[in-house]
C-alpha cells in the first residue's frame, strides 16, 4: 500500500473577477473513497485542475506525501502520485489502445523493460474487459470504452490518489458496472479515490466520505449520511427532494 | 482487384509483407548505390539526385517535427540556413579565439550544426505555450526575420549574392567530385533517416505522438511535454543545420542565398512531406525525392512527331515547356492529396508493407466475434 497524505490548504483560484475556488482546505490521509459533489459551477473541475497541476492556484498550497505540488506541471504531479481522468474523455485518438497504455507506462518507468510494461497493460485491459481492442485506434472506440481506456491509463500510472471526473457520464449501465468494479478494485489496492459525479446514487453508494462544494467554497465534509442531512447542503445542492 | 487480392494472399502466405518491403527497400538502396557508376548518366542527373537527397532529409525531419510531434513549424528552412550561414561565417571570419584558418570545413559544419541546435533550443522554449496557428505564425515570423537579416547584412553575409562556405571536398576531377558528393549526400540521408527512425520508434517517439494528439492529456499521463517539445526542436534543427552546412559546402551547391529561405521554399518542403505522407518518415523522404526528380524532369518535354510530321520551323519535334506550369500542377496534386488522401500518396503502400492493415483486420474480426462488445456499441450509439 502506498503512502497517502494529500493536504490542500486554503486553495483560491480566481479568473479575473470570478472566484472559482474559494479558500478550500481538506486532507486525505488514508485510502478513502471520497465523493465530491456540488451543483454546476461549484468549482469541482477547477479544483481538480488545480490539484492535478493544469492550473496554478492564485493562492494556497497543496502537499502530497510531504512534497509541495501546487503550481507544478501535471507530469510532475502525476509522478508525485496524483492521477486524474477528464470529464470529457481525452483518448489519444490516432494511437492504438496499447499505445495509449504504453505512454503512461513508459513515462513513469523509463527504465523498465518494454515487455513488462506491455504485460501489465494487457492485465489492466483484461480487467477492464477491453483487451480485445488492443490494436484498435482509440478514436474507433465507443464513448464508454474510451472511459474504460482512461481508467486503464490511470492504473498504468499507479498513483496513490486518483481523481475521477464524471466517470459515469454518458455511460451505458453495463459499462457502469465495470467502472463500479474498477473503483472497488482500485480502492482495495489501497488507493484514495476522489469521485466527482452528478450521479447521486453512485456517489452515495460508493463514498465513505463526502465533500460538497458550492460557489467555489467547501460547505460540507463528512460521512455521507451526515452530509445528506446538512441544511447548507440541502439548500445549495440537493434542494427539497432529499431522496 | 481480384488479381491484387490474389497477389496479396500469395505474399501473406509466402515471404510476408514486411519482408517483401525490406527486400524492395534493399533493392532501392542498391540502385542508388549503383546509379553514379552508370556511365550513361550525366553529372546533371547526379546533381538532381544530390538535391533530391538533401530535400529528402529536409522533408523527413519536418515529418518528425510536424507529422509525428504535431509542431507545425515553418522555421525548418531557417534552421537549415542557420547551419549553412554559421558554417560559412566562422570559416571566413573565425570564432572568438579561433582564427578562420584554424577552422576546417568539417569544423565549420560542426559549429553550424551546433548553433542551429542552440537556436532550436531557444525557439523551442519560446514556443512552449504556442500551439497550432500561433506556432505556425511565430515560426513564419522567425523565418522571415532570419532571411531579411541575411539579406540586409550584406557586408557579412553577401546579401542576395549569398555566402560561399569552405568547400568540404576538394577534388579536381569534376566527374570524381560529383560521384563523391553523391555518395556523401546519400550516406547523410541514410544516417539522418536512421536517426529519425530511432527517435520515432523509441519511447520519445511515442511521447511525441501523444503530445500531437493532446498535449494536456499527455502531460496528465506523466509525459514531460516541456522537455520533449524542446528536444524535438533541437534534434530536427541540428539535423537540418547539418544537412544545410554540408549541402552548401560545395557538395550540392556553391553558396547559400537568402532566396533559399523564402516561405515558398519552406512551403515546398511541407508539400513534399504532405504528398509523400506527413506521418511517415520514409514517405516524406520518398515524396521529396520523387517530387524533386519530377520537377526537374518536367522542365522541358520534347515529343517527337510521328508519320513524318514537321513543325512550321521544319523540325520534327514538338517542344512543350511546362516549366512555368509545373509548380501549378504540383499545387494541384497537393490539393487533391489533402482532400482525398490526407495521409499522403505513399502512405497506403507503406501501410500495406508494414502489415498494419492485417493487425487491424484481426482486431475487427475479434470485435465482431465479441457479441457483448457489439451489444455495448449499439447501446452506446443510441
Residues A136-174: pLDDT tens digits? Answer: 999 988 888 898 999 999 999 999 999 999 888 878 888
The single residue listed with the C-alpha cell 482495495 is: A188
Nearest to B248 by CA among B292, B186, B185: B185
Q: What is the pLDDT of residue A169?
A: 84
User: For residue A102, which residues of chain B lie inside 8 Å, CB to CB?
Assistant: 203, 206
- Please give the model's pTM, rounded to 2 decimal places: 0.87
User: For residue A93, which residues of chain B lie inside 8 Å, CB to CB?
Assistant: 213-214
User: For residue A51, which residues of chain B lie inside 8 Å, CB to CB?
Assistant: none
User: For residue A134, which residues of chain B lie inside 8 Å, CB to CB?
Assistant: 363
| Mean pLDDT lowest among A1-5, A238-242, B176-180 | A238-242
Q: What is the pLDDT of residue A185?
A: 87
Q: What is the pLDDT of residue B219?
A: 93
pLDDT at A242 over 60: no
Q: Report the mean per-residue pLDDT for chain A.
A: 89
- B77 vs A42 pLDDT, higher one: B77
B175: which 3 cell numbers?
566527374
pLDDT at A4 over 80: no
Q: What is the pLDDT of residue B374?
A: 47
User: For residue B373, which residues of chain A lie inside 8 Å, CB to CB?
Assistant: 132-133
Q: What is the pLDDT of residue B364?
A: 56
A:B CB pairs within 8 Å:
108
Reported confidence tier of residue A16, pLDDT bands at 50, 70, 90:
confident
Q: What is the pLDDT of residue A182?
A: 87
Q: What is the pLDDT of residue B360?
A: 58
**Percent of chain A scored above 70 by pLDDT?**
96
Whether A135 and B362 lie within 8 Å, measured CB to CB? yes
Q: What is the pLDDT of residue A237?
A: 64
Cα–Cα dist A237/A239, whole Å: 6
Whether A74 and B206 lie within 8 Å, measured CB to CB? no
The per-residue pLDDT string of chain B (382 residues; one tens digit each, 9 = 90 and over) reads 678 888 888 888 778 888 898 999 999 999 999 999 888 888 889 999 999 999 999 999 999 999 999 999 999 999 999 999 999 999 988 887 888 788 889 999 999 999 999 999 999 999 887 887 899 999 999 999 999 999 999 999 998 999 999 888 888 888 889 999 999 999 999 999 999 999 999 999 999 999 999 999 999 999 999 999 999 999 999 999 999 999 999 888 889 999 999 998 999 999 999 999 888 999 999 999 999 998 888 777 777 778 878 888 878 777 777 677 778 888 888 889 888 888 888 888 888 888 766 665 665 565 555 545 544 444 444 4
Q: List pLDDT tens digits, range A101-123.
A: 999 999 999 889 999 999 999 99
Q: What is the pLDDT of residue A19?
A: 87
Minimal Cα distance from B226: which residue of A?
A: A73
Write out the residues of chain B at the interface with chain A, using a CB-CB cutoff of 8 A.
203, 206-207, 209-210, 213-214, 216-226, 359-360, 362-363, 366-367, 370, 372-373, 375-377, 379-381
Amino acid at each position: 500500500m502506498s503512502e497517502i497524505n494529500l493536504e490542500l490548504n486554503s486553495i483560491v483560484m480566481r479568473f479575473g473577477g470570478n472566484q472559482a475556488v474559494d479558500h478550500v482546505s481538506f486532507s486525505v490521509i488514508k485510502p478513502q473513497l471520497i465523493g465530491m459533489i456540488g451543483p454546476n459551477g461549484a468549482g469541482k473541475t477547477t479544483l481538480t485542475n488545480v490539484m492535478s497541476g493544469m492550473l496554478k492556484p492564485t493562492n494556497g498550497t497543496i502537499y502530497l506525501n510531504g512534497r509541495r505540488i501546487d503550481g507544478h506541471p501535471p507530469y510532475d504531479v502525476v509522478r508525485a502520485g496524483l492521477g486524474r481522468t477528464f470529464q470529457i474523455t481525452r483518448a489519444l485518438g490516432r494511437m492504438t489502445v496499447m499505445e495509449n497504455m504504453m505512454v503512461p507506462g513508459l513515462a513513469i518507468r523509463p527504465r523498465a523493460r518494454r515487455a513488462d510494461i506491455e504485460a501489465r497493460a494487457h492485465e489492466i485491459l483484461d480487467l477492464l474487459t477491453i483487451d480485445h481492442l488492443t490494436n484498435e485506434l482509440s478514436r474507433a472506440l465507443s464513448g464508454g470504452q474510451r472511459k474504460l481506456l482512461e481508467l486503464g491509463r490511470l492504473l498504468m500510472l499507479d498513483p496513490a490518489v486518483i481523481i475521477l471526473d464524471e466517470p459515469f457520464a454518458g455511460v451505458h449501465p453495463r459499462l457502469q458496472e465495470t467502472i463500479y468494479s474498477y473503483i472497488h478494485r482500485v480502492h482495495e489496492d489501497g488507493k484514495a479515490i476522489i469521485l466527482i459525479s452528478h450521479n447521486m446514487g453512485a456517489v452515495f453508494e460508493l463514498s465513505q466520505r463526502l465533500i460538497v462544494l458550492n460557489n467555489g467554497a467547501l460547505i460540507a465534509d463528512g460521512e455521507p449520511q451526515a452530509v445528506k442531512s446538512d441544511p447548507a447542503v440541502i439548500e445549495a445542492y440537493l434542494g427539497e427532494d432529499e431522496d | 482487384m481480384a488479381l491484387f487480392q490474389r497477389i496479396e494472399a500469395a505474399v501473406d502466405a509466402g515471404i510476408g509483407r514486411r519482408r517483401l518491403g525490406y527486400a524492395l527497400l534493399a533493392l532501392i538502396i542498391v540502385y542508388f548505390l549503383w546509379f553514379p557508376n552508370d556511365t550513361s548518366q550525366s553529372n546533371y542527373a547526379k546533381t538532381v539526385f544530390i538535391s533530391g537527397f538533401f530535400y529528402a532529409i529536409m522533408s523527413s525531419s519536418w515529418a518528425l517535427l510536424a507529422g509525428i510531434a504535431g509542431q507545425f513549424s515553418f522555421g525548418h528552412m531557417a534552421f537549415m540556413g542557420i547551419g549553412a550561414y554559421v558554417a560559412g561565417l566562422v570559416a571566413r571570419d573565425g570564432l572568438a579565439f579561433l582564427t578562420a584558418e584554424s577552422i576546417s570545413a568539417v569544423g565549420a559544419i560542426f559549429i553550424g550544426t551546433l548553433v542551429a541546435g542552440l537556436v532550436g533550443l531557444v525557439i523551442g522554449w519560446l514556443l512552449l505555450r504556442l500551439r497550432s496557428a500561433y506556432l505556425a505564425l511565430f515560426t513564419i515570423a522567425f523565418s522571415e526575420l532570419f532571411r531579411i537579416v541575411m539579406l540586409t547584412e550584406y557586408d557579412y553575409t553577401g546579401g542576395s549574392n549569398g555566402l560561399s562556405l569552405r568547400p568540404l571536398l576538394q577534388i579536381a576531377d569534376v566527374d570524381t567530385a560529383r560521384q563523391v558528393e553523391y555518395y556523401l549526400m546519400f550516406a547523410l540521408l541514410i544516417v539522418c533517416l536512421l536517426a529519425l527512425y530511432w527517435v520515432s520508434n523509441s519511447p520519445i517517439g511515442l511521447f511525441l505522438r501523444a503530445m500531437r494528439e493532446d498535449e494536456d492529456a499527455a502531460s496528465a499521463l506523466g509525459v514531460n511535454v516541456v522537455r520533449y517539445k524542446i528536444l524535438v526542436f533541437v534534434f530536427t534543427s541540428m539535423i537540418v543545420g547539418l544537412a544545410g552546412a554540408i549541402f552548401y559546402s560545395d557538395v550540392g551547391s556553391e553558396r547559400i542565398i537568402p532566396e533559399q529561405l523564402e516561405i515558398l521554399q519552406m512551403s515546398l518542403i511541407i508539400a513534399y512531406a504532405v504528398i509523400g505522407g506527413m506521418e511517415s518518415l520514409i514517405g516524406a523522404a520518398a515524396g521529396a525525392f520523387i517530387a524533386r526528380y519530377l520537377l526537374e524532369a518536367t522542365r522541358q518535354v520534347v515529343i517527337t512527331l510521328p508519320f513524318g510530321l514537321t513543325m512550321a520551323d521544319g523540325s520534327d519535334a514538338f517542344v512543350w515547356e511546362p516549366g512555368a506550369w509545373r509548380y501549378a500542377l504540383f499545387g494541384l496534386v497537393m490539393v487533391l492529396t489533402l482532400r482525398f488522401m490526407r495521409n499522403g500518396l505513399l502512405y497506403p503502400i507503406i501501410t500495406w508493407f508494414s502489415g498494419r492493415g492485417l493487425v487491424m483486420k484481426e482486431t475487427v474480426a475479434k470485435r465482431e466475434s465479441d457479441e457483448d462488445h457489439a451489444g455495448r456499441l449499439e447501446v452506446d450509439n443510441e
